[in-house]
Amino acid sequence: MSTKFPEIQGGGSLILAWQIKNKEVLVVGGGEVAAGRIVNLLNADAKVTVVCPREGLNEEVAYRVDHGQVRHIDRIFLPLDLEPERKVAMVLTAVDDPEASTRIWKYCKEMKIPANIADVPSECDFYFGSVHRDGPLQIMVSTNGNGPRLAAAIRRQIGRMLPKGTGDSIEKVGQLRRRLRRAAPGKSTRDISKRMGWMSAVCDRWSTEDFNAMDDEDMETLVDYYESGKVPSFEEVRLGNRGDVVWEFDGSFGWM
């Protein structure tokens, strides 16, 4: 078989960044697993409703209810919770009742609502992975339901390997992209390809430390290079942008 194209490895999941902002998500249950799910949902700016008798809420979920971070329905799940007018975009269950969980999953199938039934991979339309978070950076490790504990260990290892300040540098890249679009707002395919190509070249040449050190003046100077197509080094930008500063070479830029 030809090795020209990527080899297909079946059995995986389609890893996506699901934009759930301002969408209604129903969480059934109020224990430790539900608490973890709720944190993930709130970090994604979802509108969360928890269905669970008050006595079933653990300390963390009760805190989020009491502080208005989530809406609470003080009873067990009922099919009416999935009525179309409620506009539920996703359902997560985390209850110690396999039969009840399966019934909820079947209701979701009828309503065509994506669902995750905790600890029952066969009744999940999607899985939660172990996520490393650093500002805008999110890295998810998924074992497709086979080993959540191992996924967490791998996630921690990846986090330790990343350069310090990676999240901050990504913030700077986002600012640079927005500034570039303002400076070169063309919307044709050619314009978009040129912007993407130039940004890719900048990201390839500049390090995490370079982006972290970049300030607004540096950013403006860097964008000025765009029309020429040149991608300067951080040192070229900084030296050219600080004409009022006397630079004393100490070898720190790595020049020979």
Catalytic (active-site) positions? 119
Q: Would you give the DSSP letter of residue 3?
A: -
Query: Following CA atoms 60, 66, 67, 72 in sequence, which dihedral angle do they give, to the nearest 10 degrees?
Result: 90
Tell me if residue 73 falls in helix, strand or coil. Answer: strand
Q: Which residues of 168-192 are buried (b: 16+ CB within 10 A; e: fewer)?
A: bbbbbbeebeebbeeeeeeeeeeee
HEC string of 14-62 equals CCCCCCCCCCEEEEECCCHHHHHHHHHHHHCCCEEEEECCHHHCCHHHH
At 88, list the tokens.
């539920």
